[in-house]
Structures are given as C-alpha cells and as structure tokens.
C-alpha cells in the first residue's frame, strides 16, 4: 500500500455528500501501489509519473476518471464515456459506498490493467484536428478573412479543437455566429478559448 499524500488530505476531510465514497476510492488506489498527488484540484494517482486515475465528485455521483480508459477491455462494462468528444478518459461512476465495496476487486483489476497500459507504452489514437467539423458560420469567416484563417491555423491543434468544439456545440446558427464574432479577436491574437 502506498502512503497517503498529506497535501491531498483536505479533499477527503471536507464534509460533503460523497465523503464516505471518495475515502473508499482513495484506499483502493493506494492499495494498488499508486502515488497520490493533487492535480486539477482533485486527488490524482500516478504510476512512474504517469496519470492512472483521478477521483472527482459531482452533484449526482462521484467517480474514478481512468485517463486511458478507452484502451481498457472493460470486461465488466462499467466504463462511461463522459461526452462524445472525450477520446481517451473514461469514468467509473458511483452513487453510494456499497457499490464501491461490491466492485472493489474489479476496480483494482481495472487499475492494474491501466498500469499495464502505461508500462506497455500504449497510446490512444486521437482524432486529428482536420477530422473535426468546421461549422459553416466559422468556415465563412475563415474564407472571407485571410488574417483570421492564418491566425487560426497557426494555433496549436488543441486550441483549434477547442474552438471548433465550442462553436459547433451551439444548436442555433445565430448562437454559432455570435460565438465566432466574440472569439475572432482572441484567435487573431493567437490565444486559445480559455487563455
């Protein structure tokens, strides 16, 4: 069993809806020999410096986030793809401590499989930026404004994907147009959606 990291204790000491559950998830991760750290404000468990699982909680459930969950066999069919745009990570969701106790052996097997994925150096084959749909409203702007087009394609692939996903997620053309207009100055200044 690995040693708990004191800088992560606050996460488990806070009194909230999932207190009992996240403490069980912590114990399981540490029993698998993972190193505990704090990343993105959540307990993160690593093996040889590589992220394996993260504990996070939401209003309706708490979960393990398995970073390369898409590469696991998922023999027990418990992995959940959060949204269609999440390519690598998968969640294992819980709504009570009893579920965690009942799945403990399976959870440990999944963690060990995730460690094996890291040891083998396996990588998720990510969808390329050019494979993402460019919303019509944004394509029109790119075609009519060469400076915008040049600035957009000079961005990193991750920043390009961020914009494309954000623009495309609006259901109405009017909203897509408004988003494109709002973020054109940011694209022209070489910044990503959240910079």
What's the average pLDDT block by block, 10 residues per block, for the chain (195 residues)?
A: 93 88 97 96 96 96 96 96 86 97 98 97 84 90 95 92 91 95 96 88
Q: Supply the pLDDT for residue 15.
A: 64
Residue 86 and residue 71 in contact, taking contact as beta carbons nearer than 8 Å: no
Start and end residues for every CATH 3.90.1150.200 domain found in the chain: 6-119
φ, ψ for residue 50 (rounded to 5)?
-100, 135
Query: Strand ranges (DSSP E) for 3-103?
Result: 35-39, 42-47, 50-57, 62-66, 90-94
Q: Supply the pLDDT for residue 37.
A: 97
Of 46, 105, 45, 112, residue with least CA distance to 73: 112
The pTM for the full model equals 0.75
Q: Supply the pLDDT for residue 113.
A: 97
Choosing among 3.90.1150.200, 3.30.830.10, 3.40.710.10, 3.40.50.1100, the CATH entry for 6-119 is 3.90.1150.200
Residue 87 and residue 70 in contact, taking contact as beta carbons nearer than 8 Å: yes
Q: Supply the pLDDT for residue 129.
A: 76
Q: Note the residue count of the chain.
A: 195
């Amino acid at each position: 069993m690995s040693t708990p990291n004191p800088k992560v204790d606050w996460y488990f000491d806070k009194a909230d809806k999932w207190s009992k559950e996240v403490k069980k998830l912590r114990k399981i991760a540490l029993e698998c020999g993972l190193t505990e750290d704090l990343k993105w404000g959540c307990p993160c468990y690593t093996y040889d410096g590589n992220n394996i699982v993260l504990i996070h909680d939401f209003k309706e459930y708490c979960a393990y986030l398995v970073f390369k969950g898409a590469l696991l066999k998922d023999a027990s069919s418990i992995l959940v793809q959060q949204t269609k745009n999440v390519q690598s990570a998968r969640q294992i969701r819980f709504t009570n401590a009893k579920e965690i106790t009942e799945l403990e052996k399976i959870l440990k097997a999944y963690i060990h499989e995730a460690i094996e994925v890291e040891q083998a150096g396996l990588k998720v084959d990510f969808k390329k930026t050019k494979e993402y749909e460019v919303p019509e409203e944004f394509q029109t702007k790119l075609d009519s404004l060469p400076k915008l087009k040049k600035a957009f394609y000079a961005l990193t692939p991750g920043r390009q994907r961020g914009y494309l996903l954000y623009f495309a997620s609006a259901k109405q053309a009017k909203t897509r147009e408004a988003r494109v207009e709002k973020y054109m100055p940011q694209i022209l200044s070489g910044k990503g959606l959240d910079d």
